[in-house]
């Protein structure tokens, strides 16, 4: 677990670095997350640029490259020392040089070089998002490929906290960089691989902005507005667990400063820290955070970032092989707002990468940090292709129940796509009850072996229920470590994607039929 220890030690270093980014020096410059080699959001959205300058100065921004433009003057605020402009839409490509210059102060200008326009994605979360390219399986091979993707650029925000919402980042860990094996090594593996795979589909520039911190709760990344929606604003950790885990401190220091930037979307890998902290609230706090990020980025970019920008996340992988009640199953379920799948009525325009079938018992960074980030990123990229880029004829989800019918001695489950099945004695469970009552994690669950199956349906044995009981609910993969590597019993036969975990109350002896949501199954039904 050295990886976790090292992150914790680092956190004590940065806690003393709180404070706003100064604009008092009077020099013309861009905000901290603009720089040479960066990617700005392409058309049809408009990129936003801002920075500091002499109070009262008029700043004009000049864009030179495949196309040219010049903005109207933007006056530097006498109160804040800040200026801001919105560019006309620019098509994907480059390179460009972008100069901010004062019209009424001598020798006050600054130029960004080798700027590309493409899609910008923010990558957030905790240690599995922070997990570096240098630490994954086949790291040397991946790093050797880096220079072949010069149009996938990356940036990493510094790890800092703040009790108030900041205008700019306190520090930068990795400035905007063109990939090579040295620069890329400490960058987020999931973020990089997602961007690289996405570029292979899009064939235009991709910008990646990493802002994450190991061992942190969703509450730290959420504004006070979002926390109030779930009754968590006043529920603060004990003083021994503050630092980067206190309410809103990472939102304040590492997300709020980014809001003026126009982005395409975000991906997220977090939840482990909430398996033992406000676990029961995660079905509210996570969707509320997504909604709040969307509204805040939309407003901060002057409506250029979409109000419903696509948001992808990784459903938790594994930690302890033999644990049955450590919160992992509950958080996986709550990550979907208790639907089991996304998009859904509560979490629109979201996509999910299931990762419970990717355990790593030999990980030198602890089993909670699996090294196979390639499959995680690939599954995220599939979701982005469907949800963010509207690619038709592509399925990004594993099988999910479409219809469940209980009988006295067995239960039939029909899935929403063709399936590949392996026998299992205990990954499916049924809740036995004297009546069709609601079942939950604390109910009496017993194993339900797979008896028979065909291309769309499996049949479970209900022999474990007594003759006086009925099958009131069914659940699947409801434990921390439900199966070995890529060896769960249910996969899509065409996609090879795993079925996600689920817990479904049948409510009546006539069974259960999944509700069809208007924004789901765009290619399945």
pLDDT tens string 68-123:
999 999 999 999 999 999 999 999 999 999 999 998 876 688 999 999 999 999 99
> Percent of the chain at pLDDT above 90?
82
Q: Taking residues 316-334, what's their average pLDDT?
A: 92
pLDDT band at 240 (very low <50, low <70, confident <90, very high): low
First-to-final CA distance of the chain: 45
pLDDT band at 234 (very low <50, low <70, confident <90, very high): confident
pLDDT band at 128 (very low <50, low <70, confident <90, very high): very high
Give the Cα separation of 332 and 315 in Å (integer).
6
Helix (H) or strand (E) holding 6: helix 2-14
413 in Cβ contact with 460 (< 8 Å): yes
301 in Cβ contact with 262 (< 8 Å): yes
List the beta bridge partners of residue 70: 62
pLDDT of residue 516: 67
Sign of CA dihedral 229, 234, 240, 244: positive
pLDDT of residue 22: 59
pLDDT of residue 453: 97
pLDDT band at 223 (very low <50, low <70, confident <90, very high): very high
Instruction: At 330, list the tokens.
Output: 């509950």
pLDDT of residue 107: 64
CA geometry: angle at 86 spanning 105 and 309, to 5°?
150
pLDDT tens string 413-469:
999 999 999 999 999 999 998 877 888 888 889 999 999 999 999 999 999 888 778
Instruction: At 524, list the tokens.
Output: 């399945």
pLDDT of residue 104: 81
Instruction: At 493, list the tokens.
Output: 């036969």
Q: Is the pLDDT of residue 9 over 70?
A: no
Residue 177: CB atoms within 10 A of its CB come to: 20
Q: Is the pLDDT of residue 160 over 50?
A: yes
Instruction: Say which residues have a Cβ less than 8 Å from residue 204's Cβ, sequence separation at least 6.
Output: 42, 92, 93, 118, 119, 151
Q: Is the pLDDT of residue 63 over 90?
A: yes
Give the Cα separation of 294 and 282 in Å (integer).
18
* Sheet strands side by side (includes 445-447): 445-447, 428-433, 470-476, 502-505
124 in Cβ contact with 80 (< 8 Å): no
341 in Cβ contact with 313 (< 8 Å): no
Residue environment code for 340-373, b if the CB has 16+ CB neighbours within 10 A, otherwise e: bbbbbebbbbbbbbbbbbbbbeebebebbbbbbb
Q: Taking residues 392-405, what's their average pLDDT?
A: 94
61 in Cβ contact with 99 (< 8 Å): yes
pLDDT of residue 239: 57
pLDDT of residue 509: 72
Q: Greatest CA span in the chain, whole angstroms?
A: 90
pLDDT of residue 84: 97
């Amino acid at each position: 677990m050295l990886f976790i220890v090292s992150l914790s030690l680092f956190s004590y270093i940065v806690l003393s670095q709180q404070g706003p980014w100064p604009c008092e020096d009077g020099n013309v410059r861009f905000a901290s997350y603009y720089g040479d080699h960066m990617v700005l959001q392409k058309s049809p959205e408009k990129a936003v640029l801002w920075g500091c300058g002499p109070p009262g100065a008029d700043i004009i921004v000049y864009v030179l490259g495949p196309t040219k433009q010049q903005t109207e003057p933007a006056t530097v605020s006498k109160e804040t020392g800040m200026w801001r402009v919105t560019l006309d839409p620019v098509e994907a490509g480059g390179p460009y040089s972008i100069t901010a210059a004062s019209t009424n102060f001598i020798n006050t200008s600054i130029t960004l070089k080798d700027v590309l326009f493409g899609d910008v994605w923010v990558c957030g979360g905790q240690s599995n998002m922070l997990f570096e390219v240098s630490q994954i399986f086949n790291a040397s091979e991946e790093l050797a490929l880096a220079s072949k993707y010069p149009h996938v650029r990356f940036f990493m925000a510094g790890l800092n906290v703040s009790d108030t919402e900041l205008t700019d980042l306190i520090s930068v860990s990795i400035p905007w960089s063109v990939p090579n094996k040295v620069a890329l090594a400490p960058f987020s593996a999931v973020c990089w691989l997602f961007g690289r795979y996405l570029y292979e589909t899009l064939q235009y520039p991709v910008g990646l902005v990493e802002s994450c911190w190991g061992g942190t709760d969703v509450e730290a990344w959420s504004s006070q507005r979002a926390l109030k929606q779930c009754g968590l604003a006043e529920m603060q950790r004990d003083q021994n667990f503050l630092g980067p885990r206190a309410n809103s401190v990472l939102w304040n220091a590492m997300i709020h400063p980014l809001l003026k930037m126009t982005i395409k979307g975000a991906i997220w890998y977090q939840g482990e820290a909430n398996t033992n902290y406000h676990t029961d609230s995660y079905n509210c706090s996570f969707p509320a955070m997504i909604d709040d990020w969307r509204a805040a980025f939309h407003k901060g970019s002057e409506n250029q970032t979409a109000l419903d920008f696509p948001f992808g996340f990784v459903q938790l992988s594994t930690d302890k092989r033999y644990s049955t009640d450590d919160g992992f199953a509950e958080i996986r379920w709550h990550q979907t707002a208790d639907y089991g799948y996304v998009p859904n009525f509560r979490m629109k325009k979201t996509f999910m990468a299931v990762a419970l079938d990717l355990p790593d018992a030999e990980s030198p960074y602890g089993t909670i940090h699996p090294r196979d980030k390639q499959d995680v990123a690939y599954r995220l990229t599939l979701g982005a292709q469907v949800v963010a880029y509207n690619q038709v004829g592509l399925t990004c989800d594993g099988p999910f129940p479409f219809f469940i019918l209980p009988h006295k001695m067995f239960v039939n489950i029909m899935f929403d796509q063709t399936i590949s099945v392996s026998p299992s004695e205990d990954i499916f469970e049924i809740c036995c009850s004297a009546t069709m009552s609601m079942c939950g994690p604390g109910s009496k669950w017993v194993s339900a072996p797979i008896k028979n199956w065909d291309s769309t349906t499996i049949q479970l044995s209900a022999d474990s229920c007594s003759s006086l009981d009925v099958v009131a609910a069914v659940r699947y993969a409801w434990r921390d470590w439900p199966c070995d590597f890529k060896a769960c019993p249910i996969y899509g036969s065409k996609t090879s994607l795993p079925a996600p975990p689920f817990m479904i109350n049948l409510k009546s002896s006539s069974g259960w039929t999944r509700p069809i949501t208007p924004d789901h199954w765009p290619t399945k039904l």
